[in-house]
Amino acid sequence: METAKRLDQGKRSKPRWKKVVWWMGGIVVFLLASASLFVNVYTSRSLPQVEGETQLTGLQAQVNVTRDEQGVPHIQAENELDLFRAQGYVQAQDRLFQMELARRQASGRISEVVGEVTVDQDRYFRTLGLRRAAEKSLAIYSDEAVARLQAFADGVNTFIEKEALPPEFAMMGIDPEPWTPLDSLTIGKYMAFDLGGHWERQAFNYFLLQNFSEEEAYELFPTYPDEAPTVLADHEPVDIEKNLTHAVIPNEFNGSNNWVVSGERTASGKPMLADDPHLSMATPSIWYQMHLDAPGYNVSGVIFAGIPGIILGHNEDIAWGVTNVGPDVQQLYLEKRNPQNPKQFLYEGEWEEAEVWTETIEVKGGSTEEIEVVETRHGPIISDFAAEPGNDTLLSLCWTALEATKELEAVLEMNRASDWASFEKGLENFLVPAQNFVFASKDGTIAYKANGQIPIYNDPDDALLPQKGWEAEDEWQGFIPFEELPMTINPDEGAIATANNKITSEDYPYHISHNWAQPYRYQRITEMLEGKDELRPEDFQTMQMDVKNLQAEEFLPLLMKNTKVVTNLEKEVIRLLDNWNREDDRDLAQPLVFHRWMAKIEEELYNVDLPASMQAFFTGSGQTTDELLRMGEESRWIQKAGGLEVVISEAFQKMLAELTEEYGKDPSKWKWGEAHAVEFTHPLSSIGFLERFLNPGDPYPVSGSRVTVRAAGFNRQGLVNHGASWRFVIDMTDTNEAYHVVGPGQSGHFRSDWYHDQLTSWVEGDYHLTKTEEYTGDVLTLSP
């Protein structure tokens, strides 16, 4: 009876357990639904208001903001101060979190929100002193420019004070501080940092001379020096690998393409211009497209988030674009420290007092850290920012961007220019970074100027290595006069192009740089322009998407000639290469083979003798490898690796083994796009589940490479992370309109329709037309 009773109770208890399970399941579903609803509501409430009316403190009159189909804001104001106040507000609507990260990174304050992992990075930027340089710069800006910077900052701050913040602020657990003009200038200084100046290559050359014979070292120099340097004498060497490997090195492929043709060569009879800056690619885009319209100020184009004005684009009369000149504007100096007084350094037989700054780094979840920054007459000591000084010889960095400069004032002047004379006048204040400006005007003028503050060296070879900080003869001898910078106006051929290539001939009296980009992009641009007339905007768009690989055209015959081919697989791969049209098309196998082969050749040449920690300093290694291959058996680096045939064959075998393991044994089915794809990753997407919200999904296969006009640089995982961050084409016959692509989109808010809407356009080369008249879209009225 007891057994039967227990069984009966058990039977009756089962429904209760089922009810509990269903009840608990219901709670889980309810909580998930509630969480999803909360996330949906929370994130949606921070979407920018794009229509209706809202108040903007400080306005003198009403301002209209029309966002067109691509999310490009067209801001119409009755005066310039209202225009820049509205620009600050609108930028904050779409890009406030990006602006916050940008000012923190440039100021060395990332660790406050990230933690210990970024302390070395913050130490480095505090040592460089970009914000200190911005402070010096702000002091020399005109009252008019400061008023516009302040108006922009006021607009940003109105948004911060009254609107819901983007969800990333809650994710990071931070609240933004008020925006200031100093923040805008600091971001401007960071862009000068991002476009570099070659100090890291000087450090690498110095490392080579410490560790290899002079003959071997000189082969890896970007330019073979005329005479053996004496810089290694008379001092205790600095250990580059120990003291500098935590330094932040900008992407070596930061650059661009631009070109302009006269009206004699276009279908419209007016000049036509194209520009596509090559920078890191992520979400949000580094560029923000805008149109600014006020009496006497009507300009359209792109700007970095956090900065007023338009840095690249056009107005009613002119258009302009830039590429990086890449001059030697950074110089390392060896400094002798007084053993009795660590704040004194030798100069011309006397001990000079250095400036000393105390920088406090707050670390999320860690201890606050104080660092001491020492600046000599040349600049900050950078060789011990992340390591204890080992001796009394240190390295300082002299760099034009650390001086007081007025680039944002120049931008505001350029925006209002109406012809070449007034535009060039604005360039007088655009000192860093040095840029190749191409220019077109409705009056028919086309022009070019390599503009910026470029040092004069006693001897060009001095720019190859650190110099003696204790001798006056090793100082820069001033700067190239503005009127003597490389320039051309209305050349006979009716076309001008630059692609970070060498821009001066042998008879130019000044040294510009030892470090130029590989010439293939420039060669291909001039090849496509040669003999072409009746050009139209669609022709320029096609040129910007061109993927012809002139590096392969030069070196593939050499590679195939020096490769031992035995197996059927090897014969099939060579047959494919022999039939290749030399285009880096995402659907072809040959680009995958060629680029992996070239990478393996570099490994064969360098990996045994060059530490991995130093290879980041070997910027421009591609140019060096090209030159070693041209030298062939005369190269000591090729000889020590076994000779040309051994190097090429070994690299071929390793490349094949790698590709067959990754993509199978049938080369005809390999595709470049399987190893070369773009994603536009968000900086917070590495945080677990956030990737599915912040990134667009599977990476998109992409054509092009580092050496094609359609620039598409990639990391070791094959992710395309560098390239044409903005594409721009304009025909000056109608300056009301121009063609643009901003990948992946305008907005930084992942719930926005304009977050990734231009991703496929960027991949496929589809441009949108932006007008400065008769545009339509959602209208937001900003009222006083």
Q: What's the pLDDT at 384?
A: 78
pLDDT tier for residue 232 given thresholds of 50, 70 and 90: low
Q: What is the mean pLDDT of residues 226-250?
A: 74
* CA atoms of 15 and 21, how far apart (whole Å): 10
Residue 74, Cβ density class (10 Å: 0-12 exposed, 13-18 middle, ≥19 buried): buried
Alpha helices, H only, 567-635? 568-578, 590-606, 612-615, 621-631
- Residue given tokens 């007081």 in the structure block: 404
From the CA atom positions of the chain, what is the Rg in Å?
A: 29
165-180 burial, b if ≥16 CB within 10 A, otherwise e? bbbbbeebebebeebb
Q: What's the pLDDT at 10?
A: 42
Q: What is the mean pLDDT of residues 108-114?
A: 96
- Residue given tokens 């400065």 in the structure block: 772
Is beta strand 350-353 parallel, antiparallel or unpaired with respect to 355-361?
Answer: unpaired
Cα 452 to chain centroid, rounded: 19
Q: What's the pLDDT at 696?
A: 79
Q: What is the mean pLDDT of residues 376-395?
A: 82
Q: What is the mean pLDDT of residues 142-163?
A: 98
C-beta of residue 479 within 8 angstroms of C-beta of residue 454: yes
C-beta of residue 291 within 8 angstroms of C-beta of residue 75: yes
- Report which of 172, 116, 175 is spatially closest to residue 368, judged by C-alpha positions: 116
Helix (H) or strand (E) holding 149: helix 143-162
In eight-state DSSP terms, residue 585 is -
Highest mean pLDDT among 74-78, 238-242, 504-508: 74-78
- Report which of 656, 782, 784, 566 is spatially closest to residue 75, judged by C-alpha positions: 782
pTM of the model: 0.93
* CA atoms of 298 and 550, how far apart (whole Å): 40
Q: What's the pLDDT at 12?
A: 41
* CA atoms of 162 and 780, how far apart (whole Å): 16
Residue 691 has pLDDT above 70, yes or no: yes
Q: What's the pLDDT at 4?
A: 42
- Residue given tokens 């009773």 in the structure block: 5
Residue 624 has pLDDT above 60, yes or no: yes
* CA atoms of 453 and 126, how far apart (whole Å): 23
Q: Higher-confidence residue: 716 or 92?
A: 92
pLDDT tier for residue 662 given thresholds of 50, 70 and 90: very high
**82: amino acid identity, one letter:** D
Asked if residue 328 belongs to a known ligand binding site, the reply is: yes
Q: What is the pLDDT of residues 291-347, one digit of tens each?
A: 999 999 999 999 999 999 999 999 999 999 999 999 999 999 999 999 999 999 999
* CA atoms of 352 and 367, how far apart (whole Å): 34
Percentage with pLDDT > 70 across the chain: 92
Q: What's the pLDDT at 347?
A: 98
**141: amino acid identity, one letter:** Y
Helix (H) or strand (E) holding 439: strand 435-441
C-beta of residue 300 within 8 angstroms of C-beta of residue 73: no
- Residue 75: beta bridge partners? 65, 292
Q: What's the pLDDT at 41?
A: 53
Is beta strand 297-304 parallel, antiparallel or unpaired with respect to 312-315?
Answer: antiparallel
Q: Two tokens at 27?
A: 């709670």
* CA atoms of 554 and 196, how far apart (whole Å): 29
**733: amino acid identity, one letter:** T
SS3 at position 304: strand
Q: What is the mean pLDDT of residues 396-400?
A: 98
In eight-state DSSP terms, residue 620 is T
- Residue given tokens 């400080």 in the structure block: 58
Q: What's the pLDDT at 42?
A: 58
Q: Two tokens at 545?
A: 């998407």
Residue 429 has pLDDT above 70, yes or no: yes
Q: What is the mean pLDDT of residues 417-433?
A: 98
Kindly compute the dihedral angle of the four CA atoms of residues 109, 113, 118, 122, in this order, to the nearest 10 degrees: 10
Q: Two tokens at 649?
A: 């064959």
Residue numbers annotated as active site:
256
Q: What's the pLDDT at 687?
A: 78
Q: What is the mean pLDDT of residues 215-229?
A: 81
In eight-state DSSP terms, residue 440 is E
* CA atoms of 464 and 471, how far apart (whole Å): 17
- Residue given tokens 């890896």 in the structure block: 220
Residue 19 has pLDDT above 70, yes or no: no
Kindly compute the dihedral angle of the four CA atoms of residues 763, 767, 770, 774, in this order, to the nearest 10 degrees: -130
Residue 544 has pLDDT above 80, yes or no: yes
Q: What is the mean pLDDT of residues 421-436?
A: 98
Report the interhelical angle of 80-107 vs 130-138 (nearest 10°): 150
pLDDT tier for residue 698 given thresholds of 50, 70 and 90: confident
Residue 20 has pLDDT above 60, yes or no: no
- Residue 425: beta bridge partners? none
* CA atoms of 327 and 707, how far apart (whole Å): 20
Q: What is the pLDDT of residues 436-465, one digit of tens each?
A: 999 999 999 999 999 999 999 999 999 999
Q: Higher-confidence residue: 195 or 245?
A: 195
Q: What is the mean pLDDT of residues 34-55?
A: 74
Q: Range with the lowest mean pLDDT among 39-43, 482-486, 727-731?
A: 39-43
Contacts (Cβ under 8 Å, ≥6 apart) of 24: none
* CA atoms of 113 and 109, how far apart (whole Å): 8
Q: Two tokens at 17?
A: 């357990």
Q: What's the pLDDT at 21?
A: 41
* CA atoms of 492 and 553, how far apart (whole Å): 30
SS3 at position 515: coil
Q: What's the pLDDT at 8?
A: 43
Taking every pair of C-alpha atoms in the chain, what is the biggest distance, in angstroms? 114
Q: What is the mean pLDDT of residues 100-114?
A: 97
Q: What are phi and psi of 156, to 5 degrees?
A: -60, -45
Q: What is the mean pLDDT of residues 260-273?
A: 98
- Residue given tokens 């609803």 in the structure block: 37
pLDDT tier for residue 107 given thresholds of 50, 70 and 90: very high
pLDDT tier for residue 240 given thresholds of 50, 70 and 90: confident
Q: What's the pLDDT at 1?
A: 42
Q: Range with the lowest mean pLDDT among 8-17, 127-136, 223-232?
A: 8-17
Is beta strand 719-724 parallel, antiparallel or unpaired with respect to 677-678?
Answer: parallel
Q: Higher-confidence residue: 559 or 232?
A: 559
* CA atoms of 126 and 88, how far apart (whole Å): 26
* CA atoms of 146 and 153, how far apart (whole Å): 10
Q: What is the pLDDT of residues 700-722, one digit of tens each?
A: 999 999 999 999 999 988 999 99
Q: Two tokens at 14?
A: 């089962």
C-beta of residue 318 within 8 angstroms of C-beta of residue 419: yes
pLDDT tier for residue 111 given thresholds of 50, 70 and 90: very high
Q: What is the mean pLDDT of residues 749-757?
A: 96
Residue 584 has pLDDT above 70, yes or no: yes
Q: What's the pLDDT at 355?
A: 97
pLDDT tier for residue 228 given thresholds of 50, 70 and 90: low
In eight-state DSSP terms, residue 139 is T
